[in-house]
């Protein structure tokens, strides 16, 4: 917390401040000893100290541990890469502030700095506009002001004692008192210096050391506060320039529920699960023909809903809904999901061209909250899958306003791995068990998973899960796949929020235009009628007058 220099300065300050007290203690102890009170004094001191420690430990147990920590503004989950890159720029500036590299002495300096931040963020979102910072609707600016003002009020209310009692006039008066006190104190110092120079010298020395120490700490606090302000303002600027401002949060929540309800109702499911779960995510399942995609959907649904066949049965995209397991299910702790799933079963691809050309596939990917790619151990060619994964990443790189959904690889047909006729689950293929005695089957599974990871160029946060989706040999679907889905649930919700926000902003523009037209139309028509009547009456009058004169 302190630099070495600061620590030394503080130590010296404390020592100087302590000298008079130490002196008093020595004199006091001597007096106690002379009067024979040392024993009684010792007992009283011990009792008070013990009571103090009991009270402190009781209080510490009760007080929440992180009560003093201010929450650091961080990058929200539902920001896509474009917003994340802008956030990195804000972070860089905040880091400079923390390191004390930004010179800020006056309020004007902060203003300049924040203006610079605004231009940086605006140019990030509108790189080819000359006056990028003007590219925001007035309503959005007002909404952001509303949010910032509210936050400021809450901060002041919780952190400044008496802020809800003292009036502005009181603050003004306090300031006048402070100025008065300072001038009086200067006079006092001069007068006492004349009266008792040694005492005054000692006091001035104390003052100097204390002010040096305090100054250093104040500087550090200033840097930290500045970094905080930069992060907070940066956050709101990104919301503003990326077009993420929600004018009416309640309306957004209502529309969001409406969209999800539509999606849920459009998916197939058994009777009884029509009621829409509070949370639900869309998982798009892709992979080559006969990789086991429909079988995976079946296994997840636990019933024969998707059409499984030896022939590529699904030549259409199908949506299935899956409600979370019963709350009192025995497997709840392992595979329970926080909400419902819409599983999107796709027909499957065989070639690069098919991947590139399939518009419906990419439309589904664009609406996905999570993507599962199924790779079969019985299909040696992994090139189409690799092409898909590359194209998938490229798709979101080209659309930086969308969040890339989390990707899960499912390695199917592990029952067909060598030794082929052995099927004796459970299997343990985890890497930490490399040195252990893995059975030949387990080694095959481990190699297959590794191979898929490499071929698909998966990142460390993208799991590859071996499963068997054959209806007679179901294995690791609930424990493996559902657990992986649950672990990425929160991220998927972020993807969904970003997607629905973009969907919401478009109709909102038209809705507002309609409402504005409705408001302004009566005024326009009234002005129009007035104008017409005065002109017409004027003209008619003139004509009539002329006619009359003739």
Ligand X SMILES: Nc1nc2c(ncn2[C@@H]2O[C@H](COP(=O)(O)OP(=O)(O)O)[C@@H](O)[C@H]2O)c(=O)[nH]1
**Which residues lie near ligand X (CB under 6 A)?**
287, 289-295, 308-310, 312-314, 348, 412-413, 415-416, 468-470
Residue number, 150 or 383, with CB nearest to ligand X:
383
Q: Measured from the CB of residue 140, what is the shortest distance to ligand X in angstroms?
A: 45
Print burial letters for 23-52: b (CB count within 10 Å at least 16), e (below 16): eeeeeeeeeeeeeeeeeeeeeeeeeeeeee
Q: Measured from the CB of residue 293, what is the shortest distance to Mg ion in angstroms?
A: 5
**Bridge partners for 275 per DSSP:** none
Preceding omega of 426 cis (within 30 degrees of 0): yes
Residue number, 234 or 348, with CB nearest to ligand X:
348
413 interface partner picked from Mg ion, ligand X, none, CB below 5 to 8 A per type: ligand X
The rounded distance, in Å, linking the Cα atoms of 356 and 390 is: 11
Report helix, strand or coil for 283. strand
Residue number, 294 or 335, with CB nearest to Mg ion:
294
Which residues are within 8 A (CB) of 254 and not within 5 positions of it... i.e. 6 or more apart?
A: none
Contact assessment for residue 74 and residue 91, using Cβ atoms and an 8 Å cutoff: no
292 interface partner picked from ligand X, Mg ion, none, CB below 5 to 8 A per type: ligand X
Residue number, 345 or 415, with CB nearest to Mg ion:
345
Print burial letters for 54-78: b (CB count within 10 Å at least 16), e (below 16): eeeeeeeeeeeeeeeeeeebebbeb
Residue number, 118 or 387, with CB nearest to ligand X:
387
Contact assessment for residue 135 and residue 241, using Cβ atoms and an 8 Å cutoff: yes
246 interface partner picked from ligand X, Mg ion, none, CB below 5 to 8 A per type: none
Residue number, 334 or 420, with CB nearest to ligand X:
420
Burial of 394 (0-12, 13-18, 19+ CB in 10 A): exposed
446 interface partner picked from Mg ion, ligand X, none, CB below 5 to 8 A per type: none
Q: Measured from the CB of residue 293, what is the shortest distance to ligand X in angstroms?
A: 4
Residue number, 335 or 469, with CB nearest to ligand X:
469
Residue number, 325 or 416, with CB nearest to ligand X:
416
Q: Measured from the CB of residue 322, what is the shortest distance to Mg ion in angstroms?
A: 16
Residue number, 370 or 403, with CB nearest to ligand X:
370
Q: Measured from the CB of residue 503, what is the shortest distance to ligand X in angstroms?
A: 29
Contact assessment for residue 115 and residue 123, using Cβ atoms and an 8 Å cutoff: no
The rounded distance, in Å, linking the Cα atoms of 146 and 266 is: 38
Binding status of residue 298 toward Mg ion by CB under 5 A = no
Q: How far from 37 is each of 22, 27, 32, CA to CA, in Å? A: 19, 14, 5
Q: Measured from the CB of residue 379, what is the shortest distance to ligand X in angstroms?
A: 10
Q: Measured from the CB of residue 60, what is the shortest distance to ligand X in angstroms?
A: 56
Q: Which of 120, 294, 469, 496 binds Mg ion (CB under 5 A)?
A: 294
Print burial letters for 286-297: b (CB count within 10 Å at least 16), e (below 16): bbbbbbbbbbbb
Contact assessment for residue 465 and residue 480, using Cβ atoms and an 8 Å cutoff: yes
Q: Measured from the CB of residue 485, what is the shortest distance to Mg ion in angstroms?
A: 19
Q: Measured from the CB of residue 465, what is the shortest distance to Mg ion in angstroms?
A: 19
335 interface partner picked from Mg ion, ligand X, none, CB below 5 to 8 A per type: none
Sheet holding 407-412, edge to edge: 318-322, 340-345, 280-287, 370-376, 407-412, 464-466
The rounded distance, in Å, linking the Cα atoms of 469 and 438 is: 23
Closest CA to 71 of 160, 154, 163: 154
Q: How far from 249 is each of 39, 76, 256, 364, 504, CA to CA, in Å? A: 70, 17, 10, 27, 11
346 interface partner picked from Mg ion, ligand X, none, CB below 5 to 8 A per type: none
309 interface partner picked from ligand X, Mg ion, none, CB below 5 to 8 A per type: ligand X
Q: Which of 314, 412, 444, 476 binds Mg ion (CB under 5 A)?
A: 314
291 interface partner picked from ligand X, Mg ion, none, CB below 5 to 8 A per type: ligand X
Residue number, 316 or 534, with CB nearest to ligand X:
316
Which residues are within 8 A (CB) of 390 and not within 5 positions of it... i.e. 6 or more apart?
A: 457
3-state SS track over 430-478: CHHHCCCCCCHHHHHHHHHHHHHHHHCCCCCCCCEEECECCCCCCECHH
Q: Which stretch binds Mg ion (CB under 5 A): 45-53, 292-300, 324-332, 506-514?
A: 292-300
Of all residues in the shown chain, the one whose CB is closest to Mg ion is 294
The rounded distance, in Å, linking the Cα atoms of 213 and 205 is: 13
Residue number, 83 or 415, with CB nearest to ligand X:
415
341 interface partner picked from Mg ion, ligand X, none, CB below 5 to 8 A per type: none
194 interface partner picked from ligand X, Mg ion, none, CB below 5 to 8 A per type: none
- Binding residues for Mg ion, total number by CB under 5 A: 3
Q: How far from 192 is each of 19, 209, 211, 507, CA to CA, in Å? A: 21, 20, 20, 76
Q: How far from 491 is each of 77, 80, 299, 370, 484, CA to CA, in Å? A: 6, 11, 24, 9, 12
3-state SS track over 491-516: HHHHHHHHHHHHHHHHHHHHHHHHHH
468 interface partner picked from ligand X, Mg ion, none, CB below 5 to 8 A per type: ligand X
412 interface partner picked from Mg ion, ligand X, none, CB below 5 to 8 A per type: ligand X
Q: Measured from the CB of residue 345, what is the shortest distance to Mg ion in angstroms?
A: 6
Residue number, 82 or 307, with CB nearest to ligand X:
307
Residue number, 371 or 468, with CB nearest to ligand X:
468
Q: Measured from the CB of residue 155, what is the shortest distance to ligand X in angstroms?
A: 55
The rounded distance, in Å, linking the Cα atoms of 485 and 339 is: 11
327 interface partner picked from ligand X, Mg ion, none, CB below 5 to 8 A per type: none
Q: Measured from the CB of residue 315, what is the shortest distance to Mg ion in angstroms?
A: 9
Q: Measured from the CB of residue 296, what is the shortest distance to ligand X in angstroms?
A: 7
Q: For binding to Mg ion (CB under 5 A), which residues are involved?
A: 293-294, 314
């Amino acid at each position: 917390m302190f630099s070495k220099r600061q620590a030394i300065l503080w130590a010296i300050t404390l020592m100087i401040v302590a000298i008079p007290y130490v002196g008093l203690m020595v004199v006091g102890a001597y007096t106690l000893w002379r009067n024979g009170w040392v024993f009684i004094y010792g007992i009283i001191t011990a009792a008070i100290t013990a009571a103090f420690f009991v009270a402190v430990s009781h209080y510490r147990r009760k007080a929440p541990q992180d009560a003093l920590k201010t929450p650091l503004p961080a990058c929200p989950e539902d920001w896509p890469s474009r917003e994340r890159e802008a956030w990195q720029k804000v972070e860089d500036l905040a880091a400079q502030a923390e390191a004390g590299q930004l010179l800020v002495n006056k309020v004007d300096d902060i203003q300049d700095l924040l203006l610079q931040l605004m231009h940086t963020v605006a140019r990030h979102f509108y790189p080819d506009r000359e006056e990028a910072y003007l590219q925001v609707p007035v309503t959005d600016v007002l909404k952001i002001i509303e949010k910032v003002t509210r936050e400021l009020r809450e901060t002041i209310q919780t952190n400044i004692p008496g802020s809800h009692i003292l009036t502005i006039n009181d603050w003004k008066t306090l300031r006048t008192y402070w100025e008065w006190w300072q001038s009086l104190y200067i006079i006092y110092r001069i007068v006492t210096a004349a009266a008792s120079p040694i005492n005054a010298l000692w006091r001035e020395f104390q003052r100097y050391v204390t002010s040096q120490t305090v100054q250093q700490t104040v500087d550090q606090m200033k840097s930290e506060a500045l970094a905080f302000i930069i992060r907070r303002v940066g956050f709101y600027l990104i919301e503003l320039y990326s077009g993420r401002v929600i004018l009416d949060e309640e309306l957004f929540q209502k529309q969001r529920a409406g969209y999800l309800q539509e999606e849920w109702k459009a998916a197939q499911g058994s009777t009884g699960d029509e009621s829409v779960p509070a949370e639900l995510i869309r998982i798009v399942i892709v992979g080559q023909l006969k990789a086991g995609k429909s079988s995976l959907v079946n296994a997840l649904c636990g019933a024969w809903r998707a059409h499984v066949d030896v022939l590529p049965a699904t030549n259409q995209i199908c949506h299935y809904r899956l409600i979370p397991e019963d709350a009192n299910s025995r497997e709840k702790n392992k595979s329970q999901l926080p909400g419902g799933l819409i599983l999107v079963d796709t027909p499957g691809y065989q070639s690069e061209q098919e991947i590139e050309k399939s518009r419906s596939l990419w439309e589904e990917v664009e609406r996905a909250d999570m993507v599962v790619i199924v790779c079969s151990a019985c299909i040696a060619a992994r090139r189409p899958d690799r092409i898909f994964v590359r194209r998938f990443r490229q798709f979101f790189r080209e659309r930086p306003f969308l969040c890339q959904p989390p990707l899960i690889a499912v390695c199917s047909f592990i029952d067909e791995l060598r030794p082929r006729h052995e099927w004796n689950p459970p299997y343990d293929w985890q890497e930490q068990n490399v040195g252990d005695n893995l059975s030949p089957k387990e080694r095959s599974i481990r190699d297959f998973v590794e191979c898929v990871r490499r071929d698909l160029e998966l990142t460390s946060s993208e799991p590859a899960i071996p499963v068997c989706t054959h209806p007679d040999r179901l294995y690791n679907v609930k424990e493996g796949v559902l657990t992986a889905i649950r672990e990425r649930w929160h991220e998927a919700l972020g993807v969904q929020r970003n997607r629905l926000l973009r969907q919401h902003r478009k109709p909102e523009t038209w809705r507002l235009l309609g409402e504005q037209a409705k408001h302004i139309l009566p005024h326009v028509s009234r002005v129009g009628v007035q104008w017409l009547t005065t002109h017409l009456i004027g003209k008619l009058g003139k004509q009539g007058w002329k006619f009359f004169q003739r």
